[in-house]
Amino acid sequence: MRMLHTMLRVGDLDRSIAFYTDCLGMELLRKRDFPGGKFTLAFLGYGAEEENTVLELTHNWDTGEYDLGSGYGHIAIGVDDVYATCEAIRAKGGKVVREPGPMMHGTTVLAFVEDPDGYKVELLSVD
């Protein structure tokens, strides 16, 4: 067994794809419309789906936004330099919601950014 993907519902698919590709460096792996169900699926990631866990963005054509609720936590992405990554994301218009620095009660360097729909993405230093 292996984990295949994590799915997020998004209100504006093009805006979300731009965030995950431009700000977080993912690649759009595939995208498919389902006219009968009035939704589109887009799969993004850092490598082929056969070898990597990816992110599925689901856009329901008649829904412009979602209530994230209190159950969602975050997606975590490992990066070489959290500080430089946050600066690059900020320069591309991304929103840093927790500045880079050591985690509370620990030494791991992390930061949080927010995607256009309000989903949190944790950036973790992977030395």
Cα–Cα distance measured from residue 25 to residue 7, given in angstroms and rounded to the nearest whole number = 18
Give CA torsion, residues 80, 101, 6, 11, to 10 deg. Answer: -110
> Quick check: 68 and 120 in contact, CB under 8 A?
no
Any catalytic annotation for residue 56? no
SS3 41: strand
Residue 27 identity: E
Q: Across the 127 residues of the chain, what is the mean pLDDT of every consecutive 10-residue run?
A: 95 98 98 98 97 97 92 94 97 97 93 97 92
Catalytic residue among 65, 99, 114, 122: 122
Cα–Cα distance measured from residue 63 to residue 97, given in angstroms and rounded to the nearest whole number = 25
**Tens digits of per-residue pLDDT, 76-109?**
999 999 999 999 999 999 999 999 999 989 999 9
Instruction: Enumerate domains of the chain plus CATH numbers.
Output: 5-60 (3.10.180.10), 75-125 (3.10.180.10)
